[in-house]
Structure 1
Amino acid sequence: MTAVVFGVTALSNVAQFVVPGMLAHLGRAPAGLHGDWWRTGTSLFVQDGGVAGTVSNLLFLVLVGAVAEQVLSRPRWLLCYFATGLVGEFAGYAWQPHGGGNSVAVCGLAGAVAVALWRGDGRLPRFAPMIVLLWCGALLTGLWFPLALVGFVAAMAVRIAAERGVATGRWATAGALAAGVALTADRDIHGVALLAGLVIASVLVRSVRRLPVPA
């Protein structure tokens, strides 16, 4: 699933750099609420961060997406990715009315991994906490650069602690929650998306627990 979404997004991003006006036509803009309804969805397939932002978003899609696949079925992976992405886009209409990118959707997958870490899901790889904290650090770069450094340092600390047998999963979950709150307070759409990802993943976990046990 990660490979499929990565492929479609990457091809769209390449086309964006070749086709003039593609970002302007498909990206998030106030017109999305006034007739150009497709923009809310298509804005997840174009990037407003140039080459560097595009490479970063695609890289984290692979990293976070592959880890999330260990604990999510394909339908739930898609739900976390696109539902959270849409929440982020609607927040964008209020706070950042012009733009585009799949980073808000990646926040949904990061939220799912964070919830799985809190639950101590044994299917996750040992480096899962580090991936979540690295993503949070990358998001915090736009808020206050020292906070981004805190995220990266925390990721390295978690890695070292994990190598020594220390349980670190819940540290990453707490970091994701803190990053979501800080970014939301700064009216950054990634904060809303990260918090939405945590909520959606938590609801999905509860729905699984409520399923009847086969006789």
Structure 2
Amino acid sequence: MFKPYATAVTFVITAVPSLLQFVIPGLEPALMRDPAAIRGGEWWRLVTALVVQDGGLWGTLFNLASLAVLGYCAERSFGPGRWLTLYAAGALAGEASGYLTNDPGAGNSIAVCGLAAGLALAATERLDRSLGAFYTVVLAASLLADLGTWGVAAMIALAAAGSQLVAQRERLPLWLLVAVPVAAAAILIVRLDLHGFALMGGIMVGWILKGTSPSTSRRTKPA
């Protein structure tokens, strides 16, 4: 029976401080990515920023749920070693871009970007690939939330349309599930959003793993 140890351990390590930040004042600021503090020697913030969240309660719950779902799918498809490679690729690219663009913040969503990109590009199961692609649509759609009420409505509409990647996955060409995260990454990078760089890190690693992942050699029953 498959047991997602990497996902479970990472989830606990992330969830505990992410939830404690709501009852311990100052925990998030102490651990978040702060470029000025990092330049002053607090380099560990590049890592600790992954275990607290700057999106409030709903953002925290979304990030944890995304880690649980996409983490499970990615570990089942690629195994724990490749899972960690994809997770680290997203985290490294995202944290580096956040530091270089002087963008303070916190959250594990950049690491999840690595998992999502890897799934969309290299997973065997269409369900896994479509879930990875759908996550990238949600990230791109979130840019609209800053445009006020109409922006939020457009964001919800775009996310709902993106859900068809999952609902209609058997009818869609596989190239589309690859094109979606690439397009989302490009849009986010143009906006200097660190999630775009994180997605690109996952895309690059996903291409490398595409022909070598365990999922290519032990195909299971199609989803």
Identity %: 35
| Structure 2 unmatched ranges of 5 or more | 1-5, 145-150, 215-223
Q: Is the 8 A contact 1:134 1:155 kept in 2?
A: yes
Which residue matches 1:149? Answer: 157
Counterpart residue type for residue 154 of structure 1: G
CA distance in 2, matches of 1:131, 1:181: 19
Which amino acid in structure 2 is aligned with residue 97 of structure 1? D
Amino acid of the residue matched to residue 20 of structure 2?
Answer: A
Q: Secondary structure at the match of 1:19?
A: coil
2:112 aligns with 106
What TM-score, normalized to structure 1?
Answer: 0.84
Deviations 1:14-36 (A, max 9, x none): 22222221111110002113300
Q: TM-score, normalised by structure 2?
A: 0.81
How has the CA–CA distance of structure 1 residues 208 and 63 changed in structure 2, closer, same or farther, with 3 Å as cutoff?
closer
After TM superposition, the structure 1 stretch with the greater mean CA deviation from structure 2, 37-46 or 63-72, is: 63-72
Cα distance in 1 for partners of 2:79, 2:175 equals 22
The 3-state SS of whatever aligns with 2:132 is helix
The alpha-carbon deviation at position 96 of structure 1 amounts to 5.1
Instruction: Measure, in 2, the Cα distance between the counterparts of 1:128 and 1:149.
Output: 22
Task: Give me the CA root mean square deviation.
Answer: 2.1
CA displacement at 1:114 relative to structure 2: 1.2
What's the offset of the Cα at 1:160?
Answer: 4.1
Q: Report what 1:212 is aligned to.
A: none
Please say if residues 120 and 130 of structure 2, whose CA atoms lie closer than 8 Å, have aligned partners that are also in contact: no
Q: Is the 8 Å Cα contact of residues 113 and 132 (structure 1) preserved in structure 2? A: yes
- Unaligned runs of at least 5 residues, structure 1: 210-215
Show the counterpart of 2:82: 76
Judge conservation of contact 1:133–1:151 (CA < 8 Å) in 2: no
Please list the CA deviations of residues 138-191 of structure 1 after superposition, one character each: whole Å capped at 9, or x if unmatched: 2123323436633431322x34433xx424433222111110100001110001
Structure 1 counterpart of 2:131 = 131
> Which stretch of the first structure deviates more once superposed, 189-198 or 79-88?
79-88
Distance, in Å, in 1 between the alignment partners of 2:79 and 2:205 is: 14
CA distance in 1, matches of 2:69, 2:40: 36
